[in-house]
Amino acid sequence: MAAPSSSNWVMETAHDVPHVLAVDDNLIDRKLVEKLLRNSSCKVTTAENGPRALELLGLTSGGQNSMNGRSKVNLVITDYCMPGMTGYELLKKIKESSVMKEVPVVIMSSENIPTRINKCLEEGAQMFILKPLKQSDVKKLTCHACHGDGGGDVCVRPNPSTAQQGNMRQTRTSQYLGTCMMPHDRGSDNMSLSC
């Protein structure tokens, strides 16, 4: 049986409901993400860790896609810090897959570490969001999943040359950091990353 083409992983019309795989080892955070996504009319499947997410996506050795009876995943949102497999490692495995590499992956973290943000964006993460996740963040995510656009970030893009990829990554990282740099406190001149 032939593997599905990457176009099978993209919403066909804006009227379709996006299917999001939410991955977080913390039950409370996972439930919050699930609730926010459902409030935005998303279909949600949850996983408690990276290996379970890979299993659901059919990316384990000999594993079958556990979602075959349901709709394909349009977006993966994962916590960065998880035991056993980090969100970064999950991102790499998804992007290494010929079947799943075009699916947008969003990384969440409560830790504000610019090198981590840069590393994830360079590896192909669509966005990096600081926790706690807000409804406005979810609206951006569903825009990505439904339309392939989320205020300047492109969800599914053609395979550019290696040189173009490097330039795109640098531009995306700079744009991302530029949008997240804002005063930590309105009465303060100190700058911090805050999304």
What's this model's pTM, rounded to 2 decimal places? Answer: 0.68
pLDDT of 5 reads: 37
Mean pLDDT of all residues in 129-139: 91
**Token pair 């010929």 is at which residue?**
98
Q: Which domains can be identified in the chain, with CATH numbers?
A: 17-159 (3.40.50.2300)
The contacts found for 140-144 with CB under 8 angstroms, 24 or more apart, are 141/20, 141/37, 141/40, 141/75, 141/77, 141/106, 142/18, 142/37, 142/40, 142/41, 142/42, 144/75, 144/104, 144/106
Q: pLDDT (tens digit, 9 = 90+) per residue, 112-125?
A: 999 999 999 999 99
Question: Is the pLDDT at 162 greater than 90, yes or no?
Answer: no
Question: Is the pLDDT at 50 greater than 60, yes or no?
Answer: yes
Question: Is the pLDDT at 6 greater than 50, yes or no?
Answer: no
pLDDT of 66 reads: 53
